[in-house]
């Protein structure tokens, strides 16, 4: 067995402490954490930065899903696995690794601080190793995830840094931007290697569209939180809590209405994006206005 697939070296490293530690680390690569982190970051850490972060993350996630289902590469033997959340998904390339490179790499790039690059490198390395330690990916999976993550990140940054592409995207109207995204999604669905239990991630595509529509509908304006930073963190936490509730509701309703309805999945994903980026900022602005009126009286 080659070094790319051999997992025997992992077993001697395992201890009860590291089992718990890496199980906690790996949660940071699953959709629940990622979506809530994006919501919190949008309100607390810069809405413009996290608008771009979310679009890049969702695009990278769609690419990873397509690559997994077209390659259909089996994960390491179940005897090695300590993470039961992977279900019947395929192994190559590692989604955790690809998403970690894209997420933390882009945030480091947007901050452009040496400490941010070091922090991103450490998080990416620990996340990748967690998948090996937990026995759900081999070295080939993690390496491929890293490579595709770097390619996604480099392509997005190149588009942002290029004056012509930046001016082109900035000039797009809501109708043109949404039409382009829906067209891209239709092409993605048409070429997706769907098979039983492995359909295209329609809900996430819808959330991506809703995120874009809401951003344009708000005039691409930034979200400003009132008060000192502790108060801002509390408010952002409350907004994230509301986002979590809406996500739970909007992922379960389409499944309750129909087990396999792509249009329903996509539509409720759109609603989720609209709730987080369009509705919640207006709810926040309303309560801020009421609080200001109360103080003035």
For 152-211, the pLDDT digits (tens) are: 999 999 988 888 888 888 888 888 999 999 999 999 999 999 888 899 999 999 999 999
CA-to-CA dists, residue 87 to 75, 114, 154, 242, angstroms: 10, 38, 31, 28
Report the distance separating Cα 162 and Cα 179, nearest Å.
23
Token pair 């290029």 is found at 162
Tell me the domain boundaries of the chain. Answer: 16-296
Q: Which residues contact 61 (CB under 8 A, 6 or more apart)?
A: 95, 99, 201, 204
Least confident of 24-33, 106-115, 152-161, 168-177: 168-177
**pTM (predicted TM-score):** 0.91
The pLDDT score that the predictor gives to residue 222 is: 77
The pLDDT score that the predictor gives to residue 205 is: 95
């Amino acid at each position: 067995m080659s070094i790319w697939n051999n997992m025997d070296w992992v077993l001697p490293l395992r201890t009860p402490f590291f089992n718990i530690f890496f199980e906690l680390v790996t949660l940071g690569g699953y959709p629940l954490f990622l979506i809530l982190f994006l919501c919190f970051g949008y309100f607390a850490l810069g809405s413009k930065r996290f608008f771009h972060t979310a679009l890049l993350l969702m695009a990278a996630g769609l690419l990873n899903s397509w690559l997994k289902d077209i390659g259909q590469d089996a994960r390491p033997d179940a005897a090695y696995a300590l993470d039961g959340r992977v279900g019947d998904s395929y192994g190559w390339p590692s989604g955790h690794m690809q998403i970690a490179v894209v997420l933390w790499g882009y945030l480091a790039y947007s901050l452009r601080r040496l400490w941010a690059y070091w922090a991103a490198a450490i998080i990416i390395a620990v996340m990748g190793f967690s998948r090996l330690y937990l026995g759900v990916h081999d070295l080939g999976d993690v390496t491929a995830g890293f490579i595709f993550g770097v390619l996604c990140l480099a392509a997005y940054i190149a588009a942002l840094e290029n004056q012509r592409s930046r001016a082109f995207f900035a000039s797009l109207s809501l109708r043109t931007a949404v039409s382009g995204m829906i067209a891209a999604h239709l092409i993605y669905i048409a070429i997706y290697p769907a098979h039983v239990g492995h359909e295209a991630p329609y809900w996430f595509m819808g959330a991506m569209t809703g995120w874009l529509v809401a951003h344009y509908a708000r005039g691409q304006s930034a979200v400003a939180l009132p008060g000192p930073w502790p108060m801002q963190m509390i408010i952002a936490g409350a907004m994230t809590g509301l986002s979590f509730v809406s996500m739970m509701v909007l992922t379960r309703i389409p499944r309750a209405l129909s087990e396999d309805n792509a249009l329903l999945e996509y539509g409720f994903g759109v609603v989720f994006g609209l709730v987080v980026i369009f509705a919640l900022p207006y709810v926040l602005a309303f309560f801020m206005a009421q609080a200001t009126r109360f103080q003035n009286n």
